[in-house]
Structure 1
Amino acid sequence: MAITMTEAAARHVKNQLKKRGRGLGIRVGVRTSGCSGMAYVLEFVDETVKDELSFKSQGVNIYSDQKSLVYLDGTELDFVREGLNEGFQFNNPNASSECGCGESFNV
């Protein structure tokens, strides 16, 4: 079980951690919400949580709780720029559908 990220996503996370001046990595999770049922949650990690799983991808530490990993296993996190818009994109093989904005999904 793992979550990975592209080189572009890793570069963005590393730059943001550097700007913050602290942080161990990024936490990826899900919560019940959004128009498709589940929404992605991203946050910087300053302290680890007990029983949290950790992965390393492209030199970045990725943390996730076990409940979220059921929905995120095999997901690749990418950072894309399209015109004036930029943001994270989740390439989640477990998602059976996504909402139009791409911020929530269903399994």
Structure 2
Amino acid sequence: MIELSPAAAREIERWSQSRRLSGSYLRLAVKNGGCSGLHYHLELTPIAAENDRFYQSQGINILVDPDSDRYLQILKLDYSEDLMGGGFRFTNANTQNTCGCGLSFSA
């Protein structure tokens, strides 16, 4: 299950409107790279692939490809701002190690 906080949902909606992509899907993916071997990737897309997994949280439609789905089964996505700026924060029960940046992990 993928769970968005209200703050994450607001930021995704703002992001979508600023790019004139209202009604788009949020695509969440896990890709090779980063300090710990894997990293999260977020993008807005108007089209779902045939084999995408579909989730919904806080009114946001979320797509996940089958390869990434196994890493994102218990994911909480938040958004917060601090002195360094704003950013998404990932809390994932499937990770073994997380990099200090919070964007890279191993599983």
TM-score (norm: length of structure 2): 0.93
Give the equivalent residue in structure 2 for 1:56.
56
Matched AA of 2:4: M
- 8 Å contact 1:25–1:44 — kept in the other structure? yes
| Structure 1 gap ranges (5+) | none
TM-score (norm: length of structure 1): 0.93
Aligned CA-pair RMSD:
1.1
Residue identity over aligned pairs, in percent, reads 35
Give, in angstroms, the shift of residue 86 of structure 1: 1.0
Residues of 2 paired with 1:100 and 1:18: CA distance? 31
For 1:28-107, list aligned pairs within 5 A: 28-107=28-107
State the 4+ residue runs in structure 1 displaced beyond 3 angstroms.
none
Give the equivalent residue in structure 1 for 2:25.
25
Give, in angstroms, the shift of residue 84 of structure 1: 3.8
Give the equivalent residue in structure 1 for 2:8.
9
Matched AA of 2:56: K
Residues of 1 paired with 2:88 and 2:97: CA distance? 17
Matched AA of 2:49: V
Residues of 2 paired with 1:19 and 1:82: CA distance? 21
Give, in angstroms, the shift of residue 83 of structure 1: 2.0
Give, in angstroms, the shift of residue 97 of structure 1: 0.9
Give, in angstroms, the shift of residue 60 of structure 1: 0.5
- 8 Å contact 1:40–1:103 — kept in the other structure? yes
Residues of 2 paired with 1:83 and 1:35: CA distance? 23
